A and B are shown apart, each in its own frame.
Chain A
Amino acid sequence: MTTKKHESDTPGIILAGIFILIGGIFLNDARTLLDYDSYVFPMAICIVMIVLCISFIVWNLLKPHLDKDATAKPGSTVRRVGLVMLMLASAFVMPYVGFLPAGLGVFAALMTIAMFKPWTWKLAATYALICVAIVTGFYVLFDIVFLVPLPEIPF
């Protein structure tokens, strides 16, 4: 005989706790504002959010249940983290190194992360060409056509 223990929505509870903290931080910061017009709305939102989070936590503790929508997604965590880190790196590096170098770099790196087939020389060559084409294509589009001031290579 096994008594089925109800699993609780732990990630949800933790996040709700974090949100309560965030609400508190914002509420605290709102006290420095002088103008009533400035703080009335954010304070109201913070209070509502904190109340909702508390209700959520209490409800989940009383009636533990899993969230159907909170699916565990299969797949490589390394690649996922790599994607985010690479994109962030390119954003930080671009103003210093210039658009084209950073762009080519991040594009090539992302290609490697998203590639699931084994690399061959032919594959690498074609993909390198695609990388250059698309990056330069976007460069021309944004710099010439839209006149967006892209970060320049510092000479």
Chain B
Amino acid sequence: MHVLSFILEAMSPYHFSIALGGVVAGTVIGALPGLTATMAIAVLVPLTFSMSPTAALILMGAIYTGAIYGGAYSAILLNTPGTPSAIATTLDGYPMAKRGDGDLAVTLACISSVVGGLIGAAFLLALAPPLAKVALAFGPVEYFWLAIFGLTLISALSEGNLLKGLIGGCLGMLLTTIGVAEISSDIRFTFGSRTLIGGIEPVSALIGLYCIPVLIDLVATPARHLKVTSSNRGFRLREALSLTWRHKFNVLRSSVIGTIVGILPGAGGSISGLVAYSEARRTSKHTANFGNGEPEGVQASESANNATVGGGLIPTLVLGIPGTPPDAVILGALLVQGVRTGPNLFVSGESSIIYVFIAGLFLATLLMLPTGLLVGRYAYRFIITVPKAVLVPTVAFMTIIGTYAIRNNMSDVVIMIVLGAIGWVLDRCGFKPSPIVLGLILSRIAEQGFVQGWTIGGARGSIIAEFFARPISAGIIGFICISLFYPIIARRWKRNKEL
């Protein structure tokens, strides 16, 4: 049977070791803040020239999968997303670690990533061509509303302090406008500084706003970084598995969200994690606990961002349009190898490459479970036991060099540190970093969608119709309204019931 031959080929010792090596390397790379999956794959592209296209694809896919998962480590243990996809993981992962449940969080992240990755790959296998069409139906206006939906999460993240959260969000959005404008290629708000022409690089800003304040506080007192519980509870695997089963609907839904957001070119893992987190929070019985170490938050974010790996490959392989930045590199490598993307890839014939690759992706995702648990265990032990005088310099050093490596630019490092210091001050005054980060991440998409939609709507004759009358947009607007007003309505309804 065809299928069996693909699976067997993917499991050949050569491919198996590539997948295993790729997953381990990817996990380690993703865990280091500043090193992104894109960078890791880009470095390996020359290596792939001497490999067969299949082996090259399996390697890149394995690294990609591992890296997206690896970002959870620093997110949980250092409050710093190792890759932007892990932003939503910090929201509940770090609080869990602070109260001593870091090992549980890491194991949960592992299991959720595996489930998410498998579901994303399953969609890629079964429904790639039709789903790619869905991707095309999303125009600029849809992206705009999607960004707005992401921004409504600010209200959720700033309970009791909505004004400050919104102001933070605006600040984040404003920071993104510095540099070259996305649409008009105008250079904005550089105030004459040559350094700012490049704009504020989002990953370095992430590290600055999330990691530097943690370091600043670590250095101030001799207290331990994370709470250590005396008993060695091992992986807490059984506990994590039962939690996963209990919240299976959350994990499944988040994986589907992750796949769909992945299909949309340019959206990426960070947005899928945030959207899944937002939905999980809204529909959970423990809404109030989100942000204080609710396992469901970690599960939602990690299953979504790994599902995006498979989802992002759909437009990449079917349309030749990269779904996420790592996909762009993979596409480039494929082009050099002479592989033609397109729906034909999924029709049998010359395209056994694709099916072996997808089988390899399944394999790499499954391999994440043992490797992830092992690496996670050692990462956790390391962070817990290493003395502060080693931890602080190592992390600080890592952020410096990692940030430098993003664009080979020292000014990114300076910006990161300055933003970090400012972020610490803001945090002390009640302006939390997450709304600012949300603004940073979503602003570009919102602006592009807005300006493009405005231009197209103007040309078509009605801007209002363009923004509000399109079916998918209307759907997203509906979600936004539900998201914003549901808590108020639910509370009022509950009060009425009690009367």
Contacts and interface: CB of A to CB of B under 8 A. Distances in A.
A38 B188 contact: yes
Interface of A: 9, 11-12, 15-16, 19, 22-23, 26, 29-30, 33-35, 37-42, 45-46, 48-49, 52-53, 55-56, 59, 67-77, 79-80, 82-84, 87-88, 90-92, 94-95, 103, 106-108, 110-116, 127, 130-131, 134-135, 138, 142, 145-151
Contacts of A106: 393, 396-397, 400
Given A80-B216, A91-B400, A91-B414, A67 B188 contact: no
B97 to A, nearest CB: 18
A29 B183 CA distance: 18
Contacts of A145: 43
Given A68-B160, A76-B219, 12 more contacts: A37-B183, A37-B184, A38-B186, A41-B447, A46-B174, A77-B220, A91-B400, A91-B413, A106-B393, A111-B392, A145-B43, A146-B43
Interface in B425-452: 426, 428-432, 443, 446-447, 450-451
A40 to B, nearest CB: 7
B398 interface: yes
Given A87-B396, A88-B417, A45 B221 contact: no
| Nearest 5 A/B pairs, CB to CB | A75-B220, A116-B222, A49-B170, A110-B393, A114-B392
A19 B12 CA distance: 59
A35 B186 contact: yes
Contacts of A42: 174, 177, 188-189
Interface string B35-70: 100011001000000000000000000000000000
Contacts of A30: 188-189
Interface string B398-413: 1011001100101001
B477 to A, nearest CB: 18
Interface string B173-185: 1100100010110
A83 B219 contact: yes
Interface string B3-32: 000000000000000000000000000000
A112 B279 CA distance: 45
Nearest to B223: A75
A24 to B, nearest CB: 12
Contacts of B388: 114-116
Given A75-B221, A111-B390, A114-B393, A92 B432 contact: no
B217 interface: yes
Contacts of B274: none
B173 A15 contact: no
Interface in B137-195: 160-161, 163-164, 166-167, 170-171, 173-174, 177, 181, 183-184, 186, 188-189, 191
Contact of A94 (B170, B392, B410, B429): B410
Nearest to B399: A87
B428 A72 contact: yes
B37 to A, nearest CB: 13
Secondary structure dominating the interface of B: helix
B420 interface: yes
Contacts of A38: 181, 183-184, 186, 188
A9 B160 CA distance: 14
Nearest to A77: B220
A103 B417 CA distance: 16
Chain B CB within 10 Å, residue with most, of A26, A33, A130, A148:
A148
A53 B410 CA distance: 33
Contact of A148 (B160, B212, B404, B446): B404
B389 A115 contact: yes
B215 interface: yes
Given A30-B188, A41-B451, A114-B389, A138 B397 contact: yes
Contacts of B431: 12, 15
A37 B181 contact: yes
B455 interface: yes
A1 B11 CA distance: 81
A147 B44 CA distance: 10
B401 A142 contact: yes
A45 B421 contact: no
Interface in B61-110: none
Contacts of A76: 219-221
B177 A45 contact: yes
A147 to B, nearest CB: 6
B348 to A, nearest CB: 38
5 contacts: A37-B184, A88-B417, A91-B414, A110-B392, A113-B392
B217 A75 contact: yes
A16 B35 CA distance: 34
B394 interface: yes
A41 B39 contact: no
A79 B181 contact: no
A145 B29 CA distance: 11
A33 to B, nearest CB: 6
Interface string B239-280: 000000000000000000000000000000000000000000
Contact of B393 (A15, A53, A107): A107
A125 B209 CA distance: 34
Given A37-B183, A114-B389, A11 B429 contact: yes
A91 B451 contact: no
Contact of B220 (A15, A69, A73): A73
A29 B160 contact: no
A41 B222 contact: no
B447 A70 contact: no
A67 B398 contact: no
Contact of A29 (B173, B181, B191): B191
A42 B426 CA distance: 22
Given A48-B170, A55-B163, A71-B428, A114 B219 contact: yes
